[in-house]
Structure 1
Amino acid sequence: MKKGNIISTLSIIIVAVIGTIFTQIGMSWFDSLTKPTEWIPSFIIPIVWTVIYLAFAIILIKWQNKTELTKENIILLVINGVLNILWCLVFFTLNQLFIGNVIIIINALFAIRLIFEIAKEDAMYGLILSIYPIWLCIATSLNTALWILN
C-alpha cells in the first residue's frame, strides 16, 4: 500500500474517532434537547457518517493510485476534517448550538469546494462524494432547528 493511502486512511479514522469521542461526551445533553417533529431517527446518523467516511477512504485510495493529490486537495481535506472535529467539540462537548451552527455552515461551504475540486479530477468520485455536503446541509438545518427550539 502506498504511503499516501496509509496517511489518508489513518487521517479519516482519526477524524472519525475524535468526532465520535466528542459526540459521546455530549449525548446525554443532546438527548435532553427539544427536537423538531421532522427529526431524523437517531440510528440513521452514525450510518450516514460511516458511509461518508468509507466513501472517502475508498475514493482517496483509488484516486491516489491514479495520481497524486494536489496541495489544494490536501488543504481542503484537512480543513474539512478539522471542521468536522471542531463541530463535534463545540456542539456536543461544549453545548454551543449557535457557534456549532456557524462552524457547520463553514464546513458545508468547504465541503462543496472540496467536491468541486475532486470532480475536476474524476467526475464520478465527485458525484459519489457529493453525499458529504448534502449531508452537511441536512445537518445544518437540524442544527439550526435545535438552536431555535432550545
Structure 2
Amino acid sequence: MKKFTLLLLFLLINFGGLALGSWLMNNGPETSWYQDLSKAPWTPPGWVFGAAWTTIMLCFSIYLSELFKNHYSLTALRFFIAQVILNVGWNYVFFNQYEIAGGLIVIILLTSLIFYFFFTFKKDVKNYSYLLLPYMIWLCIATSLNLYILIHN
C-alpha cells in the first residue's frame, strides 16, 4: 500500500479508537465518581487531554504509515491491534467500570507496548520513531495520574 493510503487508514483507525474510547467512558470525567477522587496535583485541565490525544494520534498515524510501508510484519500488526484494544479498553476499565487498579494494569501494558514499538522498530523507521515520543511521554504522565489515584483513594 502507498504511504498516503496507509496514513489515511491509520488516521481512521486511531481517531475511531479515540471516539470509541470516549463513548465507552460514559461521561467519566464529568461523573461524581471521578470528580470526588483525590487527583494528583499535576493533573492537567480537561482540554489538555483532547489536545494531547489529537497530537499523539496524528504523530502515531504518521509513524505507523512509515512502519508498515517499510516493515510490514504480522508481529507489528498484532502489536498495533493490541495497542488499539488497550487504548480503548483503559477508558472502559477506568471510567466505566471504576476499576482504578485494573486501569493501572491496562495503562502499564499500553505504555510497555508503545516503548516496545519505539525500541523494536527504530531501525525500520529511522527518525520517524521520534514521532512516538509524545505518546510515550503522555503515557508516563497518565500512568502517574492513575497510580496517584490508586494510592490516594
TM superposition score normalised by structure 2: 0.85
1:42 aligns to what? Answer: 46
2:129 corresponds to 1:126: yes
Q: Among residues 56, 59, 69, which one is paired with 1:55 in the alignment? A: 59
Contact persistence 2:11–2:57 (CA under 8 A) = no
Please state how far the C-alpha of 1:61 moved relative to its aligned partner: 3.1
Distance 2:67 2:110 in 1: 22
Distance 1:68 1:7 in 2: 16
Distance 1:79 1:55 in 2: 18
2:12 aligns to what? Answer: 10
Q: Deviations over 1:50-86 (max 9, x none)?
A: 100111223333444x435221111111111110111
Q: Which moved more, 1:126-135 or 1:84-93?
A: 126-135
1:105 aligns to what? Answer: 108
Please state how far the C-alpha of 1:6 moved relative to its aligned partner: 4.4
Unpaired runs of at least 5, structure 1: none
Q: Deviations over 1:82-101 (max 9, x none)?
A: 10111110001111101111
Distance 1:26 1:81 in 2: 19
Give the direction of change, closer, same or farther, for the CA distance of 1:38–1:60 in structure 2 (3 Å limit): closer
TM superposition score normalised by structure 1: 0.87
Unpaired runs of at least 5, structure 2: none
Corresponding pairs, count: 149
Contact persistence 2:7–2:62 (CA under 8 A) = no
2:147 corresponds to 1:148: no
Please state how far the C-alpha of 1:147 moved relative to its aligned partner: 1.0
RMSD: 2.0
